[in-house]
């Protein structure tokens, strides 16, 4: 008999599978104080929460029986995933259950924005009759730019087509073939700025998308554009949006999410051309039932069949496999992150080759880690070790993993190559006894460098004085060099230089480097400090 604790207000009909199952007892105690939750958590095998319960490391110290934490929703910001992983607790969520709810809210916001429905309601409800004050626009034959063509973005595009709208879709993984199948036009972000009458946001919040809609981007948009964001706060620079609204560049905005929540930005919240709602994307009866049903069914699957579909951390692996792969886990994710930064675009093909001792092992975990590193650049925390393969396939990316008994000069050696339209990026790495992880090849040039948080990749001609000029330029910006490696094809030919730095090299630094005679290209590469959590 398994005991399940539900500590937030969650749909009883969604929990029916657990209520009806003879192997489970469910205690529903919404609103538990943290102290009481910590006191009783040791009695339970699984915990189900929404966003109210904060599952902290302190609470998990007492969770000696707990095997599963289920978030009835998407985000897991209220769960200390790292602490759960250390305790051997699987954390799951329900990533697809709110798709229709979020889609329909987006359409409602778009229609409200086009016709100023909230403003007209507010006026009429106090006895006014201002027909001439609320002249809207039709959506028919207007152009909608969809930024992010995942599940929700795709559903929005399909519904908008039924309104007679022309759809421009942007997504790093959107191909021409898929766009044709959907009946939309593949576009760049600049295309959307130039052509769209409405822009709707459906991307995850990651480093590359934070502040994506900023002063520079809004300056490129059509005058009178209308913007909808039901995805994540922080993608739109709120101060920039207010400036564009005040200038009339943006005719209106409809926002369900904000940079900080609850939002206190009254300049934005009270703007007459802005429609706001308090993060209602998943707030429908059906969505709440779906998320509860989804996590209930998965809890049963985990306990009854050990099948896991939506874990956001690592499932248990054998101690022997863990020990052999552990030195490569962090390195694998870093390889993926380096390769995708070098390619600059989403790949259409991924090749992974294992050599030497690694080729004898079950490397699925390591492959997932590499793929996670690749996809996280564009998909953020929506990708994890469980869904990595599925998401790669879902994005239309082909992949091939090969194993070779030859050692390539190292006991174990991994090589990753990404392709996009004939262009490729390439990273090879190993782990050296006593020295740790090393990048030993980059874009087919031999090097030997430790993966560190800040790297500078330079392509140049092999001419005297190049190293000195690069060092001097970095010194002008008060940037200290940790290590430097040079790889070259032949004396006097093409060469690369890879440096570890003590801090970020911004666009001004890159510009200063690119004016050096004989230096063709410079790119700053960034890696995370931490690794991938692995359950022991």
Strand partners, 143: 166
Give the CA count within 13 Å in the CB-facing half-sphere of 234: 11
pLDDT in tens, 113-168: 999 999 999 999 999 999 999 999 999 999 999 999 999 999 999 999 999 999 99
pLDDT in tens, 365-406: 899 899 999 999 998 877 877 778 878 888 889 999 999 988
Burial class (CB in 10 A: 0-12, 13-18, 19+), 345: middle
User: Hunting for tokens 């599963």 — which residue is that?
Assistant: 68
Alpha-carbon distance of 505 to 491, in angstroms, equals 28
Alpha-carbon distance of 80 to 76, in angstroms, equals 8
The answer to whether 132 and 110 have CB atoms below 8 angstroms apart is no
The residues that are catalytic are 232, 261, 279
Helix (H) or strand (E) holding 355, with range, is strand 349-356
Alpha-carbon distance of 116 to 135, in angstroms, equals 8
- 382 against 356, higher pLDDT: 356
| Percent over 70 (pLDDT), the chain | 97
pLDDT in tens, 458-479: 999 999 999 999 999 999 999 9
Alpha-carbon distance of 75 to 88, in angstroms, equals 20
Q: Would you give the distance in Å from CA 100 to the centre of its chain?
A: 20
Alpha-carbon distance of 81 to 87, in angstroms, equals 10
Per the structure block, which two tokens stand in for 343?
A: 């390619």
Alpha-carbon distance of 10 to 293, in angstroms, equals 10
- What is the pLDDT, as a whole number, of residue 342? 96
Residue 457 three-state SS: strand
The residue among 232, 183, 244 whose CA lies nearest residue 203 is 232
**What is the sign, positive or negative, of the torsion defined by CA atoms of 80, 85, 89, 93?**
positive
Alpha-carbon distance of 135 to 131, in angstroms, equals 8
- What is the pLDDT, as a whole number, of residue 319? 59
The answer to whether 148 and 170 have CB atoms below 8 angstroms apart is yes
């Amino acid at each position: 008999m398994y005991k399940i604790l539900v500590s937030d207000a969650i749909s009883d009909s969604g929990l029916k599978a657990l209520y009806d199952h003879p192997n489970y007892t469910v205690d529903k105690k919404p609103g538990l104080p943290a102290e009481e939750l910590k006191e009783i958590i040791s009695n339970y095998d699984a915990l189900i929460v929404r966003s109210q319960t904060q599952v902290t490391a302190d609470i998990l110290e007492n969770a000696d029986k707990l095997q599963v934490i289920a978030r009835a929703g998407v985000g897991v910001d209220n769960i200390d995933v790292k602490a759960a992983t250390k305790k051997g607790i699987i954390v799951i969520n329900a990533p697809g259950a709110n798709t229709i709810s979020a889609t329909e809210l987006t359409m409602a916001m778009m229609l409200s924005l086009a016709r100023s429905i909230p403003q007209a309601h507010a006026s009429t409800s106090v006895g006014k009759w201002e027909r001439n004050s609320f002249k809207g626009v039709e959506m028919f034959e207007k152009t909608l730019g969809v930024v992010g063509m995942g599940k929700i973005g795709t559903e929005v595009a399909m519904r908008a087509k039924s309104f007679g709208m022309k759809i421009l879709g942007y997504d790093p993984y959107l191909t021409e073939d898929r766009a044709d199948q959907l009946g939309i036009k593949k576009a760049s972000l600049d295309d959307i700025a130039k052509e769209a009458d409405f822009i709707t946001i459906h991307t995850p919040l990651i480093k590359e998308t934070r502040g994506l809609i900023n002063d520079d981007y809004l300056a490129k948009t059509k005058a009178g554009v209308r913007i909808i964001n039901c995805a994540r706060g922080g993608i739109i620079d709120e101060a920039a949006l207010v400036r564009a609204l005040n200038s009339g560049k943006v005719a209106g905005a409809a926002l369900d999410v904000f940079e900080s929540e609850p939002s206190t930005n009254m300049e934005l919240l009270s703007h007459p051309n802005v429609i706001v709602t308090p993060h209602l994307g998943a707030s429908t009866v059906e969505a709440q039932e779906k998320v509860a049903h989804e996590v209930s069914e998965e809890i049963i699957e985990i306990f009854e069949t050990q099948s896991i579909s939506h874990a956001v951390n690592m499932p248990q692996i054998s101690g022997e496999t863990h020990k052999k792969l552990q030195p490569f886990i962090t390195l694998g994710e870093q390889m993926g992150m380096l390769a995708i930064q070098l390619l600059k675009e989403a790949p259409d093909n991924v090749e992974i080759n294992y050599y030497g001792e690694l080729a004898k092992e079950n490397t699925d975990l390591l492959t997932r880690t590499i793929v996670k590193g690749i996809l996280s650049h564009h998909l953020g925390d929506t990708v994890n070790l469980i869904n990595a393969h599925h998401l790669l396939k879902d994005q239309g990316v082909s992949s091939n993993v090969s194993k070779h008994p030859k050692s390539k000069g190292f006991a174990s050696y991994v090589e990753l190559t990404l392709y996009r339209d004939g262009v490729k990026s390439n990273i090879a790495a190993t782990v050296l006894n006593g020295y740790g992880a090393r990048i030993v090849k980059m874009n087919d040039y031999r090097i030997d460098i430790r993966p560190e948080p800040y790297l500078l990749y330079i392509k140049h001609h092999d001419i005297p004085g190049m190293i000195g000029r690069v060092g001097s330029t970095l010194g002008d910006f008060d940037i200290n060099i940790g290590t430097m490696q040079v790889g070259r094809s032949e004396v006097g030919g093409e060469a690369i230089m890879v440096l570890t730095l003590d801090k970020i090299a911004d666009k001004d630094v890159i510009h200063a480097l690119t004016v050096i005679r004989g230096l063709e290209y410079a790119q700053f590469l960034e890696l995370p400090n931490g690794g991938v959590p692995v359950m022991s």
